[in-house]
């Protein structure tokens, strides 16, 4: 889809911003350009839509040399979102979103229909927001409109320069999640710039780690974490790279099927029996076969007349798609050290324990050594 | 004395209105020319790589403003005479007022265009707007209120200077003033002076309204919050 061939950029003042970078981003792939400030990641991105002219090398999009195309038509075929959003304050949300459709001379009604569709996509009720002005929106909402705008004319390729950079961590987290869901549906080819390793690991199918204008390592996040190419990469991904790797796994990858459960309407004696039999100090309690209701702990049974009295409700539960790092922090907050994994209907589908996670990480270690 | 002036105004409203209308016409024509030239020059010098030209042009325009109006009238008369155009009457006055009006308009156009948020310009360019689209769809709508503030300043200032233009036979509200001074008619002087002042204040208010009107709705809201 996009191919950079020996691309270099030397600015007029002699700074070598990008040095001989070659990489390829496949159709539908989410590629993150990562690195410390001044590493050339933004310059690389902006050379793709020719906001910054290339000094040497070539960039191909779908096999076509970008230099051969009309510069404005090239840009209209590429979605573009930036950190400072740059919404036009004198235009409504609809007009902002339809910027590229307007430049492409779509009929008015189609522009507006598209704005509606995209507002829905980014989770903003169109009826409420379509005729508002950017100054009437919160930072997060503006950012959403920025994302909607870059999808305006449904370009196959998106360039995003720290699009979630200027917002508070909670909103950023939410927008990242939502954007991943959108991407799952749309399957755009994306080049995305960030200096945040966590964001890179979370969002990227591949990560291009850059330093001083050079591409140091280009790999998928798991490889980047497991096999940092050199000291710089190791330092950049951080000493907690094993923990960061956890977020690449989902609860469903690690959970074990619940072998022993207890029906909440059973007697206390029966619960003690099961606990003794399997030498456990706790059991997940279920209702109607598999609907999870909480935990039964041995020490609570002695003073309780029924299991319902002894029940400890779960502080938090995971879903199969919960990233493992989040599940791990739930486990740290759970009295039993375990987390129940529930599907959409609250059915108990698995249990997460420290032992299970350790096993998975150990397997990963072996594969790394082998 | 004010009473006498008032009496004159009540007695000869048609005369006073005639002068006022003349006055206003001169100012409007001159400022229309100043806006046309000033905005074009301002746009041009705001282009990339023209910072030095912009500085030079604004400096030249501000030098122009320091020339006393009578001296400028004199210079223009000389030039117009040399190229055999009417050197007396409205023409030199209109040219002088146009020149005086240039500075605030060029300066405001330049500042406004320069101060458009770079993020907006990057977004516009990145989405494939060409230079003209960027100027007309993004920069100008944001700059127009600031440019109008410059025009407002120029108009109010020129209403004052235009009064002196009556010296050259351009008519306008300078006429009763000069005539009154020559004939020791304080009522005439005062009537003219009051009329000029009222015209200036009213123009200022009207222009303030226009300024508000052309400020894009989204920008107006942004300022409130």
Q: Is residue A26 part of a domain?
A: yes
Query: Is residue A369 assigned to a domain?
Result: no
Domains recognised in chain B with CATH numbers: 15-46+53-224 (1.10.3720.10)
Instruction: Name residue A295's beta-bridge partners.
Output: A284, A312
The CATH number given to whatever domain includes residue A289 is 3.10.580.10
- Mean pLDDT in residue range A301-327: 86
The count of structural domains within chain A is 2
Point out the residue among A72, A76, A82 whose CB comes nearest to the CB of B123: A82
Q: Is residue A243 part of a domain?
A: no
Which of A49, A86, A90 is the closest to B119 by Cβ?
A: A86
Secondary structure class of A370 (helix, strand, coil): coil
Q: What's the pLDDT tens digit per position in A166-180?
A: 788 888 888 898 999
What strands, in cross-sheet order, belong to the sheet with A30-34?
A78-82, A157-161, A189-194, A30-34, A206-211, A214-219
Domain final position from A212, A238, A264: A238
Task: Looking at the structure, tell me whether residues A220 and A311 fall in a common domain.
Answer: no
Is B132 part of the contact surface with chain A (CB cutoff 8 Å)? no
Measured between beta carbons, the chain A residues lying within 8 angstroms of B218 are 89-92, 133-135
Domain contains A42: yes
A201 and A132 together in one domain: yes
| Residue of A84, A86, A94, A165 for testing the chain B interface, max B β-carbons within 10 Å | A86
Tens-place pLDDT, residues B75-117: 999 999 999 888 888 999 999 999 999 999 999 999 999 989 9
A76 and B128 in contact by Cβ < 8 A?
yes
Q: Verify whether the Cβ–Cβ distance B124 to A86 is below 8 Å.
A: yes
Question: What is the pLDDT at residue B2?
Answer: 80
Q: Is residue A218 part of a domain?
A: yes
pLDDT in tens, B136-169: 999 999 999 999 999 999 999 999 999 999 988 8
**Chain B CA closest to residue A149:** B127
Q: Domain limits at A312?
A: 252-361
B133 touches chain A (CB under 8 A): yes
Contact list, A103 vs chain B (CB under 8 Å): 127-129, 133
- Taking the CA atoms of residue B180, residue B184, residue B188 and residue B190 in that order, the dihedral angle to the nearest 10 degrees is 100
Residues 6+ apart with CB under 8 A from B2: B190
The residue count of chain A comes to 370
The reply to whether A227 and A278 lie within a common domain is no
B positions 50-89 inside 8 Å of A (CB): none
B89 with B166: CB under 8 angstroms? no
Name every chain A residue with its beta carbon within 8 A of the beta carbon of B120.
86-89
| Average pLDDT of chain B to the nearest whole number | 91
Looking at the fold, whether A75 and A149 belong to one and the same domain comes out as yes
ipTM for the complex shown: 0.81
Confidence of residue A76 (pLDDT cuts 50, 70, 90): very high
């Amino acid at each position: 889809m996009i191919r950079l061939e020996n691309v270099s950029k030397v600015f007029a003042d002699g700074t070598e911003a990008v040095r001989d970078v070659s990489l390829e981003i496949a159709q539908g792939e989410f590629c993150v350009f990562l690195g410390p400030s001044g590493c050339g990641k933004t310059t690389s991105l902006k050379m793709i839509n020719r906001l910054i002219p290339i000094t040497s090398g070539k960039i191909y999009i779908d096999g076509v040399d970008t230099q051969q195309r009309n510069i404005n038509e090239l840009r209209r075929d590429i979605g573009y979102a930036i950190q400072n959003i740059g919404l036009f304050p004198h235009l409504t949300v609809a007009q902002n979103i339809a910027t590229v459709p307007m430049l492409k001379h779509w009929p008015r009604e189609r522009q507006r229909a598209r704005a509606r569709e995209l507002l829905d996509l980014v989770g903003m009720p169109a009826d409420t927001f379509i005729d508002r002005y950017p100054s009437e929106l919160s930072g997060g909402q503006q950012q959403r409109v920025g994302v909607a705008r870059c999808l305006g004319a449904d370009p196959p390729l998106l360039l995003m320069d720290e699009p979630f950079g200027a917002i508070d961590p909670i909103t950023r987290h939410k927008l990242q999640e939502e954007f991943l869901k959108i991407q799952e549906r749309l399957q755009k080819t994306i080049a995305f710039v960030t200096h945040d390793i966590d964001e890179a690991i979370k969002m990227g199918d591949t990560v291009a780690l850059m330093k001083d204008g050079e591409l140091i390592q280009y790999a998928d996040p798991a490889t980047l974490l497991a096999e940092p190419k050199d000291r710089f990469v190791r330092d950049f991904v951080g000493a907690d790279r094993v923990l960061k790797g956890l977020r690449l796994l989902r609860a469903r990858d690690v959970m074990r099927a619940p072998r022993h459960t207890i029906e909440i309407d059973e007697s206390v004696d029966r619960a003690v029996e099961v606990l003794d039999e399997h030498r456990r100090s706790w059991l997940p309690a279920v209702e109607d076969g598999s609907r999870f209701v909480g935990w039964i702990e041995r020490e609570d049974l002695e003073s309780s007349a029924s299991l319902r009295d002894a029940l400890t409700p779960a502080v938090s539960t995971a879903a199969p798609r919960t990233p493992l790092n989040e599940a791990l922090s739930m486990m740290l907050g759970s009295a039993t050290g375990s987390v129940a994994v529930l599907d959409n209907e609250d059915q108990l589908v698995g249990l997460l324990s420290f032992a299970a996670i350790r096993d998975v990480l150990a397997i990963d270690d072996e594969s790394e050594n082998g | 004395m004010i009473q006498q002036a008032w009496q004159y105004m009540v007695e000869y409203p048609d005369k006073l209105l005639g002068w006022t209308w003349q006055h206003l016409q001169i100012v409007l024509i001159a400022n229309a020319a100043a806006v046309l030239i000033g905005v074009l020059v301002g746009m041009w010098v705001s282009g990339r790589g023209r910072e030095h030209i912009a500085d030079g042009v604004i400096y030249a325009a501000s030098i122009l403003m320091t020339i006393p109006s009578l001296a400028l009238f004199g210079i223009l008369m000389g030039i117009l005479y040399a190229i055999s155009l009417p050197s007396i009457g409205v023409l030199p006055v209109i040219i002088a007022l146009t020149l005086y009006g240039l500075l605030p308009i060029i300066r405001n156009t330049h500042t406004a265009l320069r101060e458009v948020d770079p993020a907006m310009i990057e977004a516009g360019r990145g989405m494939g707007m060409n230079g003209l689209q960027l100027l007309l769809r993004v920069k100008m709508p944001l700059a127009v209120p600031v440019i109008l503030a410059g025009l407002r300043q120029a108009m109010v200032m020129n209403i004052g200077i235009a009064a002196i233009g009556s010296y050259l036979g351009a008519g306008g509200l300078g006429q009763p003033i000069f005539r009154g001074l020559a004939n020791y008619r304080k009522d005439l002087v005062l009537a003219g002076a009051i009329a000029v002042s009222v015209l200036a204040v009213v123009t200022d208010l009207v222009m303030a309204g226009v300024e508000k009107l052309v400020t894009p709705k989204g920008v107006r809201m942004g300022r409130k919050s």
